[in-house]
Amino acid sequence: GKNGVPVAENFRLEQSTIADTVQAGQVRVKTLYLSVDPYMRCRMNEDTGSDYLQPWQLSEVADGGGIGVVEESKHNNLAKGDFVTSFTWPWQTVAILDGSSLQKLVPQLVNGRLSYFLGAAGITGLTALLGIREKGHVAAGANQTMVVSGAAGACGSLAGQIGRLEGCSRLVGIAGTDEKCSILVQEMGFDAAINYKKGDVAKQLRELCPGGVDVYFDNVGGDISDTVISQMNQNSHIILCGQISQYNKDVPYPPPLPPDIEKIQKERNITRERFLVLNYMDKQEASVLQLCQWIQEGKLKVRETVVEGLANIGAAFQSMMSGGNIGKQIVSVSK
């Protein structure tokens, strides 16, 4: 339902068989890792609200970002033992896939941590990097303050660090527990972090951002975003990455702002344009290499929450949607 909160019981695991024969152009793969992401909630509606996203079908195999190893190949460019990835990987332990739909991976780029290609060196990292570069207008030496909501999540935890690497001088995160706030400051280089479940968020923002907010990386929408926008500077920029607080509600995307906040946005000439990373795939290769370089140099700290076993993917989805995890949510399917 459009207004429902997803739970583990929305998913079921079935035993099935696949074809014995791999056809020309196909490969048989063993699944290693699957990505569980907030945008998938939109795929549980008949209308996803996005042209590029197809809804999951009832009683059919779900799909999303995945990584596996080739076990048998009849595709010219893929061989047994190659590690491959796809944005439409089926949630199953073994699959026969069209080889042309797969991208070959180089494990050395991420120091052998293959799952990073679903997070920091994958679509999540690309979203953070290209969102900042295309919509954030960050300039080194400009003394800019960036605020990140959902800052301990997969995208937010990377976005803050990338904002710093791109030139922001002050970085403030908003998260939902003291543990998350502590990790942001002590491990990921944020100057400060606000637990939005404690105290007055607006008051804390004023204290932590005395010069106002220049760049806002918005992952959550709702009341938190309204509070941040009210403290943004003239000609500042919102990177509209996600609105996770609104995904369980029947509202358009991006959700309209309350009239008083919309007035502030217009009066201060704050940009708030929809950002879709798939529109910038011409910059994918160079951007992934940049992310991998930062990972290898230790400049980009990566957090993952890994759940073992395909049978637990429903529970992982529920936990991710409730904001219970830190960093990227990954399901490890087979060793």
Distance of CA 182 to the CA centre of its chain: 21
Given this model, what pLDDT does residue 217 score? 95
Reported as a pLDDT band with limits 50, 70 and 90, residue 1 is low
Average pLDDT (215-243) is: 93
Q: Average pLDDT for residues 302-313, to the nearest whole number? A: 93
Beta strands at 94-98 and 83-90: parallel, antiparallel or unpaired: unpaired
pTM of the model: 0.89
pLDDT (mean) for 27-50: 89
For the beta carbon of residue 10, count every other beta carbon within 10 angstroms: 14
Is the pLDDT at 137 greater than 70? The verdict is: yes
CB-count burial class (<10 Å; 0-12, 13-18, 19+) for 91: buried
> Is the Cβ–Cβ distance between 171 and 164 less than 8 Å?
yes
Helix axes 284-296 and 123-131, enclosed angle (nearest 10): 100
pLDDT value for 53: 82
Q: How confident is the model at residue 249 (pLDDT cuts 50, 70, 90)?
A: low
pLDDT for res 253: 61
The per-residue pLDDT for range 40-61, each reduced to its tens digit, is: 888 998 887 777 788 999 999 9
Longest CA pairwise span in the chain (Å): 65
189 contacts 164 by C-beta, under 8 angstroms: yes
Neighbours of 205 (CB within 10 A): 22
pLDDT of residue 250: 56
Domains of the chain and CATH, by start: 8-119+302-332 (3.90.180.10), 124-278 (3.40.50.720)
Residue 281: pLDDT band with limits 50, 70, 90: confident
The whole-number average pLDDT for the span 239-255 is 65
Selection from 308, 60, 301, 292 nearest residue 190 by Cα: 301
pLDDT band at 278 (very low <50, low <70, confident <90, very high): confident
Considering only 89-93, 183-187, 305-309, 324-328, which range has the smallest mean pLDDT? Answer: 324-328
Share of the chain above pLDDT 70, in %: 96
The per-residue pLDDT of the chain, averaged, comes to 91
pLDDT grade, residue 327 (50/70/90)?
A: confident
CB-CB neighbours of 88 under 10 Å: 11
229, 270 contact by CB (below 8 A): yes
Query: What element of type H or E holds 251?
Result: none
Which pLDDT band, with edges at 50, 70 and 90, does 251 fall under? low
Q: What dihedral angle (degrees, nearest 10) is formed by the CA atoms of 131, 133, 136, 142?
A: 150
Flag whether pLDDT at 169 surpasses 90: yes
